[in-house]
A and B are shown apart, each in its own frame.
Chain A
Amino acid sequence: MRPVLLIDFGSTYTKVTAVDLETEELLGTAQSWTTVQTDIGEGLAKAVAILEEKTGPLNFEARYACSSAAGGLRMITSGLVPELTAEAAKQASLGAGAKIRGVYSFELTEDDIEDIDEEAPDIFLLVGGTDGGNKECILHNAEMLATCKSDFPIVIAGNRSAARACARRLEGRDVHIVENVMPRFGVLNIKPAQDEIRQIFLKRIVEAKGYTKAQELIDNIAMPTPSAMMQAMKLLAEGCENPDGTKEKGIGDLLAVDVGGATTDIYSVCDGMPTDMNTVFKGLPEPYIKRTVEGDIGMRYSIHGIEEAVGTAYVSKLSGIPEQRCRELIDYLGSHTEVIPQGENEDELKHLDFALASGAIKTAVTRHAGRIEEVYTMNGLAYMQSGKDLREVKQIVVTGGSLIHTERTGDIASAALTDPADPYSLKPREAEVWVDRSYILAAMGLLSAYEPAIALRIMKKELKKEQQ
């Protein structure tokens, strides 16, 4: 046996997953409360104890961890034009696994600076202008940021002609200059900024007080949890090479939904650009692995956001519960966030959760997916696409603490598909559904950095195909 321990320090739970590299089996999973106030090592020790109760004592040959504890990686960004560099900055941060607490465009004001100070982000991403393009905005914003009372690392990834001047205006602060997120008009270059963000994140964890006394544990933290998820999704879609040079096949282009209590994350791994001659693409090119986070859509803390987005009538129709009663139950769950309906006589709550989860997925996937617009020209119809075209995506992966307990997950996932009522939204037409029943995706993302082929085979084994 060659057991490896994969740890996810979440904001609420510390989850541990044990796998055996020799048999390529999942040995078990367990969780315990995250103990950030005292020492995260405590919560971890408890989780491992629970795990070993099930598996027997394990002599781990390696431990790897990802973390979204202590609020995750909170970032604020500023760019120039909202749809251009400000959007590029947002994409870069989301792709680096950040929680975005603010996206500013054009010139920062004194009020903005107050808000930024209040939020005191873990990292600020300062961009604006293509290389050789606009300098005034980023210079102004650097000058404004210099007046912030709180001290946070600032990554400068804007017009290269202004980078050094920005750094000078921010003298005395922790400043990192990297390549422009949009070096030329319409060209997205987010990797350098993301790599730097990740470096800063890791350094910050090492320095964080109260994280743990066990230095060895910290050395194992490799990435923020959402990055681990993205690694897993990429591997699952693309496949990888086996050590003997043969190919371990992936499942192809995919869409993944992670419905949590407070937020809903959507990931897509596909090209998504127009395929027919009649369609013109508008806006920034889309990242091949795209992550969006809906902060107002979640099964408990953000339950009212779901209701607002889809309407009570929708929830009522899908759950078969009268609207008035839906409202009562939603209020109840919003303030009793720990409730998971599992018992025999909790059918009502189960039906409600089914409707809410469908609403969450429908809303979040619609926001994630691109749109197409018909343009009537005098010689016929043309199309204008913005965002990613997911119509040909054939695989949907469902994960998230609040979904893996649900029944009829396949039906819930069908809320991610095209809706005849909104034909201009570019969502998948039909898809197979894979459910992450044992909740191992982030762990496999972590493992993929060391043993990709094994991580992929375990995922293919553990993800359960669900009928719709």
Chain B
Amino acid sequence: MDKKTLVLGVIGADVHAVGVSILNRAFLDAGFDVVNLGVMVSQEEFISAAIETNADAIMVSSLYGQGELDCRGFREKCDEAGLKGILLYVGGNIVIGKHEFAEVEKRFKDMGFDRAFPPGTDPQTTIACLKEDFHLN
């Protein structure tokens, strides 16, 4: 019953499907309950799914380069919907152009994301972060 529930999906009009299916598998294997919403997921869909399933974290994936735009106002909407303090992660291909990752990471954190991951992050790294944030061992 203490299984943590993660809502996972690719945000916006993004159709890159391979990454999330790999993450889905990895999170399940690590003992999480995963609600995989697939591709082209709106902020509202992430939030509705998180409400019904009483999710502990929302994992946002973005590959096609518009992640920052798509993620604007996400934290505020979560607050509005009563998902106060839910863990928000973002990853995939969220660096556009020649920006430093640290800079990008800061921008996402300013938007209210708890963690942002650079391209090519190993799922195990993310799982370790989840365990840390959930105080699991």
Could you list which residues of chain A lie within 8 angstroms of chain B, going by C-beta atoms?
Answer: 80-81, 83-85, 128-130, 132-135, 161, 182, 185-186, 280, 282, 375-378, 382, 384
Give Cα A135 to B51, complex, Å: 10
> Is chain A's binding surface mostly helix, strand, loop or mixed?
loop
Find chain A residues with CB under 8 A from B96 CB: none
Who on chain A is nearest to B44 by CB? A83
Give Cα A129 to B33, complex, Å: 15
Q: Give the 9 A-B residue pairs with the shortest CB-CB distance, closest first.
A: A133-B53, A134-B54, A133-B54, A185-B35, A81-B48, A130-B53, A375-B13, A84-B52, A280-B40
Question: Contact partner of A83 among B35, B39, B48, CB < 8 A?
Answer: B48
Could you list which residues of chain B lie within 8 angstroms of chain A, going by C-beta atoms?
Answer: 1, 3, 5, 13-15, 33, 35, 38-40, 45, 48-49, 51-55, 64
Find chain B residues with CB under 8 A from A282 CB: 40, 45
When the two chains form their complex, are residues A129 and B52 in contact, meaning their CB atoms are under 8 A apart?
yes
When the two chains form their complex, are residues A132 and B51 in contact, meaning their CB atoms are under 8 A apart?
no
Find chain A residues with CB under 8 A from B33 CB: 132
When the two chains form their complex, are residues B52 and A134 in contact, meaning their CB atoms are under 8 A apart?
yes
Question: Contact partner of B54 among A83, A129, A378, CB < 8 A?
Answer: A129
Extra pairs beyond A129-B53, A132-B3 (10, CB < 8 Å): A84-B49, A84-B52, A130-B52, A133-B55, A185-B52, A280-B15, A280-B38, A375-B13, A377-B14, A377-B64
When the two chains form their complex, are residues A377 and B15 in contact, meaning their CB atoms are under 8 A apart?
yes
Find chain B residues with CB under 8 A from A84 CB: 48-49, 52
Find chain A residues with CB under 8 A from B52 CB: 80-81, 84-85, 128-130, 133-134, 182, 185
Find chain B residues with CB under 8 A from A129 CB: 52-54
Give Cα A377 to B10, complex, Å: 14
When the two chains form their complex, are residues A382 and B13 in contact, meaning their CB atoms are under 8 A apart?
yes
Q: Which of A83, A133, A376, A378 has the most CB of B within 10 A?
A: A133
A164 to chain B, nearest CB (A): 15
When the two chains form their complex, are residues A134 and B40 in contact, meaning their CB atoms are under 8 A apart?
no
Give Cα A81 to B33, complex, Å: 20
Give Cα A378 to B96, complex, Å: 15
Give Cα A133 to B33, complex, Å: 11
Give Cα A376 to B54, complex, Å: 33
A192 to chain B, nearest CB (A): 18
Give Cα A161 to B49, complex, Å: 18
Find chain A residues with CB under 8 A from B48 CB: 81, 83-84
Q: In the complex where A185-B35, A377-B64 touch, is A80 in contact with B40 (Cβ < 8 A)?
A: no
Who on chain B is nearest to A85 by CB? B52
Q: In the complex where A280-B38, A377-B13, A377-B64 touch, is A132 in contact with B54 (Cβ < 8 A)?
A: yes
CB pairs A–B below 8 angstroms (22 shown)? A80-B52, A81-B48, A81-B51, A81-B52, A83-B48, A129-B53, A132-B3, A132-B33, A133-B53, A133-B55, A134-B52, A182-B52, A185-B35, A186-B35, A280-B38, A280-B39, A280-B40, A282-B45, A375-B13, A375-B40, A377-B13, A377-B64
Who on chain B is nearest to A129 by CB? B52
B20 to chain A, nearest CB (A): 13
Who on chain B is nearest to A84 by CB? B52
Give Cα A134 to B47, complex, Å: 13
Give Cα A280 to B20, complex, Å: 15
When the two chains form their complex, are residues B1 and A132 in contact, meaning their CB atoms are under 8 A apart?
yes
Q: Which of A81, A85, A161, A182 has the most CB of B within 10 A?
A: A81
Find chain B residues with CB under 8 A from A376 CB: 13
Give Cα A80 to B15, complex, Å: 29
Find chain A residues with CB under 8 A from B49 CB: 84, 185-186
Find chain A residues with CB under 8 A from B45 CB: 282
When the two chains form their complex, are residues A80 and B51 in contact, meaning their CB atoms are under 8 A apart?
yes
Find chain A residues with CB under 8 A from B55 CB: 133
When the two chains form their complex, are residues B53 and A384 in contact, meaning their CB atoms are under 8 A apart?
no
Q: In the complex where A185-B35, A282-B45 touch, is A132 in contact with B5 (Cβ < 8 A)?
A: yes
Who on chain A is nearest to B1 by CB? A132
Give Cα A132 to B3, complex, Å: 9
B86 to chain A, nearest CB (A): 12
